[in-house]
Amino acid sequence: MNNEITFTPSEMVAVIVAICATIVTISGAIGVIAKWFSKARAPEMKQNIRLDTIDKRLDAIDKTIAEYRTYFTNDDNRFKAIEKSNKVTQNALLALLKHSINGNDKESLKEAEKALETYLIDR
C-alpha cells in the first residue's frame, strides 16, 4: 500500500506539453467560434449601420419639415390679414359707390369709415 508515485523529468515535461497543447487547442477553437459568430452577425451589423444613417437622414428631414411648417403658418397668417384688409377696404369702396350713386347714403359711409378706422388702429 505504500506505493510511491514517481515521475521522471521526461514524463513531467510531457504532461506540461500536453497541458499547453490543450490550452492552445481550446484557444484556437474559441477563435474559430468567435469568427463564426462575427460572420453570422455581419449582416446584422451592416443593417444596424444602414438604419443609423437612415435615422440621421430622417431627423434632418424632420427638422426641415418643421422649419417649412413655420413658414407655412406665417404665410397663412399673412394671407388671413390680407383677406381681412381687403374685406374692410371693399366695404369702404362699396359705401363710397353707394354714396356717389344715391348721394343720400351717409350712414353707410360713416359705418365704413368707422370700420376702416378700427381696422387701421387695431393693425
The model's pLDDT over 96-112, given as tens digits with 9 standing for 90+, comes to 877 777 777 777 777 87
From the number of C-beta atoms within 10 Å of its C-beta (0-12, 13-18, 19+), residue 30 rates as exposed
**Cell (9 digits) for 8:** 521522471
Q: How far apart are CA 63 and CA 56, in angstroms?
A: 11
DSSP 31-67: HHHHHHHHHHHHHHHHHHHHHHHHHHHHHHHHHHHHH
| Confidence tier at 17 by pLDDT (50, 70, 90) | very high
Q: In Å, what is the CA distance from 68 to each residue of 4, 55, 65, 75, 81? A: 92, 20, 5, 10, 20
Residue 122 has pLDDT above 90, yes or no: no
Q: How far apart are CA 71 and CA 90, in angstroms?
A: 28
- Would the pTM of this model clear 0.75, i.e. be above it? no
For 46-86, write each residue's pLDDT tens digit: 999 999 999 999 999 999 999 999 999 999 999 999 998 88
